[in-house]
C-alpha cells in the first residue's frame, strides 16, 4: 500500500468492513471517555472476552469518574484481581483524581492534556482522542504495528519507539475527515480478527487485501519483524501456605517493585527443603505442626519467571505479623495476585 496514493480506497474498504463486522462489545455502545479509557486500559494485556465481565462489574461499582476517584483502594484492587498489572488500577484512580482536581470532573478533550494524565501513554491517549472526540490522533499498539507493517511491507523492527512514531505519522495521512473514531477501531478490529499474528492471518477475507504489500510479495508470515527479546530472568522462590484453623497467612509486599504493595503468601528466595521450611516458620513466630508435600509451580511475568516450590504448613498458633485470611475474606475483600492465588 502506498499511504498517500491509496488513502481513500483503504479507509473506505476498512470502514465499510468494520461497520458490517464489528464485534458487539460493551464499551462500543457508548463512547463516553470514562468507558473508552477504562476498556483500553483493561484491554492492554487481556483479551476482549476476558475483559467484558471485569468492565461491567467495574462500572457497576464505580459508575462515574468521581466514584473511581473516591474508591477504597482495597476494593479497587479486588475488582482488578485476575487482570494482573495492578499498577494500571492504581493509575486509573490517580488519573480520576487528577480529572476531578484539574478538570472539574470533565475528561479533557485536548490530546496533550489526555496524555498528561497518570498511566495514559500515547496509545491510550490516541484511542480516547479519536474514539471519543473524533480527533485524528492514531492509537498504535502491537496489533496496529502488525497490520501496518504488512500493508506497507515495512521490514524495520516494529517494536521500537521510532517505528511507532513512524507508523503514527503514516496513519495521520490516512485518517478520514469524518468517522475518525470508527477508523481507529476498524484498524484495531482488523488486527484482532483478520490480520492475526504469525501464519494465522485470514488474508482470503481481508477487506484491504488488494492493497496489501506483504500479501502480494508473499511475506505475510515474515512481517512484522521483531527485535530479539531479552531472555526472562528466572527466580527461585519457596512459597508457604501457612494454615491455622480456617485461615491462611498473608503479608504485604514492599511498596516498590513487582506486585508493589499487594498481598502475598509468605515466601523466601531460593529452594528450601522441609527442615528449612520448619525453621523459617518458627523464625516467623509460628509453631508449625506439619509440612505437606512439596509442589512445583511456575509463574511468568513480562520480564521475570518465578519458579516456585510450594509447601503447605499447618500451624498451631497465629502471629500478628501476618494477616490471617479465611475463605470469605479471600473471596470478597483481598486481592491476591494470581502468582499466589493459583497455589491455593
Ligand atoms: S491481506 Fe493479510 S496480511 Fe495483508 S492486511 Fe489483510 S490480513 Fe493482513
Report percent pLDDT > 70 for the chain.
100
State the pLDDT at residue 29: 85
Q: List, in order, residues 6 or more apart from 34 with CB less than 8 Å away.
A: 64, 65, 68, 107
Which of these is catalytic: 12, 40, 276, 305? Answer: 40
State the pLDDT at residue 31: 93
3-state secondary structure of 179: coil
Best mutation site among 9, 144, 151, 189 for ligand 1, i.e. most ligand atoms within 8 A of its Cβ? 151
Helices (H), 103-201: 111-115, 122-133, 142-152, 161-174, 180-193
CA 207 to ligand 1: nearest atom = 6
Confidence of residue 145 (pLDDT cuts 50, 70, 90): very high
State the pLDDT at residue 302: 86
State pTM to two decimals. 0.87
Report percent pLDDT > 90 for the chain.
90
Map grid coordinates 511475506 to a residue. 219
CB 35 near ligand 1, within 6 Å:
no
Instruction: Flag whether pLDDT at 69 surpasses 90.
Output: yes
User: Residue 134 — left, alpha, or beta (φ > 0 → left; ψ -120 to 50 → alpha)?
Assistant: left
C-alpha angle 23-207-129 in degrees, rounded to nearest 5: 55
State the pLDDT at residue 196: 97
Instruction: Flag whether pLDDT at 153 surpasses 90.
Output: yes
Instruction: Flag whether pLDDT at 230 surpasses 90.
Output: no
Instruction: Flag whether pLDDT at 46 surpasses 90.
Output: no
Instruction: Flag whether pLDDT at 227 surpasses 90.
Output: no
The per-residue DSSP string of 142-158 comes to HHHHHHHHHHHT--S-S
State the pLDDT at residue 84: 87
Average pLDDT for residues 26-40, to the nearest whole number? 94
All structural domains of the chain, each given as residue ranges with its CATH number in brackets, are 3-222 (1.10.340.30), 233-341 (3.90.79.10)
Per the model's pLDDT, the better-predicted residue between 29 and 13 turns out to be: 13
Q: Is 70 a catalytic residue?
A: no
Confidence of residue 2 (pLDDT cuts 50, 70, 90): confident
Nearest alpha-carbon partner for 318 in 252, 247, 232 = 247
Whole-number Å distance, alpha carbon 194 to ligand 1 midpoint, is 7
Give φ, ψ of 335 to 5 degrees: -90, 110
Average pLDDT for residues 68-97, to the nearest whole number? 95
State the pLDDT at residue 198: 87
Q: List, in order, residues 6 or more apart from 48 with CB less than 8 Å away.
A: 23, 25, 192
Confidence of residue 340 (pLDDT cuts 50, 70, 90): very high
Element (H, E) at 235: strand 233-244
Average pLDDT for residues 150-177, to the nearest whole number? 94
Distance, in Å, from the CA atom of 306 to the CA atom of 150, rounded to the nearest integer, reads 35
Nearest alpha-carbon partner for 290 in 246, 322, 249, 244 = 244
Confidence of residue 159 (pLDDT cuts 50, 70, 90): confident
CB 144 near ligand 1, within 6 Å:
no
Per the model's pLDDT, the better-predicted residue between 201 and 302 turns out to be: 201
pLDDT in tens, 109-128: 999 999 999 999 999 999 99
Q: Kindly report the protein residue whose alpha carbon is nearest to atom 1 of ligand 1.
A: 209
Average pLDDT, the chain: 95
Instruction: Flag whether pLDDT at 229 surpasses 90.
Output: no
Amino acid at each position: 500500500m502506498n499511504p498517500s496514493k491509496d488513502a481513500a480506497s483503504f479507509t473506505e474498504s476498512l470502514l465499510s468492513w468494520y461497520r458490517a463486522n464489528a464485534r458487539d462489545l460493551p464499551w462500543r455502545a457508548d463512547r463516553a471517555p470514562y468507558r473508552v479509557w477504562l476498556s483500553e486500559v483493561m484491554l492492554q494485556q487481556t483479551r476482549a472476552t476476558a475483559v467484558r465481565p471485569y468492565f461491567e462489574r467495574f462500572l457497576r461499582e464505580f459508575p462515574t469518574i468521581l466514584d473511581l476517584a473516591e474508591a477504597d483502594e482495597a476494593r479497587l484492587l479486588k475488582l482488578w484481581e485476575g487482570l494482573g498489572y495492578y499498577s494500571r488500577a492504581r493509575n486509573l484512580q490517580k488519573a480520576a483524581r487528577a480529572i476531578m482536581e484539574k478538570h472539574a470532573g470533565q475528561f479533557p478533550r485536548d490530546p496533550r492534556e489526555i496524555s498528561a494524565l497518570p498511566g495514559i501513554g500515547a496509545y491510550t491517549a490516541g484511542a480516547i482522542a479519536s474514539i471519543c472526540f473524533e480527533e485524528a490522533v492514531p492509537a498504535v499498539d502491537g496489533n496496529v504495528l502488525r497490520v501496518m507493517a504488512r500493508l506497507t511491507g515495512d521490514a524495520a523492527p516494529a517494536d521500537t519507539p521510532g517505528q511507532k512514531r513512524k507508523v503514527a505519522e503514516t496513519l495521520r495521512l490516512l485518517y478520514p475527515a469524518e468517522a475518525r473514531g470508527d477508523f481507529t477501531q476498524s484498524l484495531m478490529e482488523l488486527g484482532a480478527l483478520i490480520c492475526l499474528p504469525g501464519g494465522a492471518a485470514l488474508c482470503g477475507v481481508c477487506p484491504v487485501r488488494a492493497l496489501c504489500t506483504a500479501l502480494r510479495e508473499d511475506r505475510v508470515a515474515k512481517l512484522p519483524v521483531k527485535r530479539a527479546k531479552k531472555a526472562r530472568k528466572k527466580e527461585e522462590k519457596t512459597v508457604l501456605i501457612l494454615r491455622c484453623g480456617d485461615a491462611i497467612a498473608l503479608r504485604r509486599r514492599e511498596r516498590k517493585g513487582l506486585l508493589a504493595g499487594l498481598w502475598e503468601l509468605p515466601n523466601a528466595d531460593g529452594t528450601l527443603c522441609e527442615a528449612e521450611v520448619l525453621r523459617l516458620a518458627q523464625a516467623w513466630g509460628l509453631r508449625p505442626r506439619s509440612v505437606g508435600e512439596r509442589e512445583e509451580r511456575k509463574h511468568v511475568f513480562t520480564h521475570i519467571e518465578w519458579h516456585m516450590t510450594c509447601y503447605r504448613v499447618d500451624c498451631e498458633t497465629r502471629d500478628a505479623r501476618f494477616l490471617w485470611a479465611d475463605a470469605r475474606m479471600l473471596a470478597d475483600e483481598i486481592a491476591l495476585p494470581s502468582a499466589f492465588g493459583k497455589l491455593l
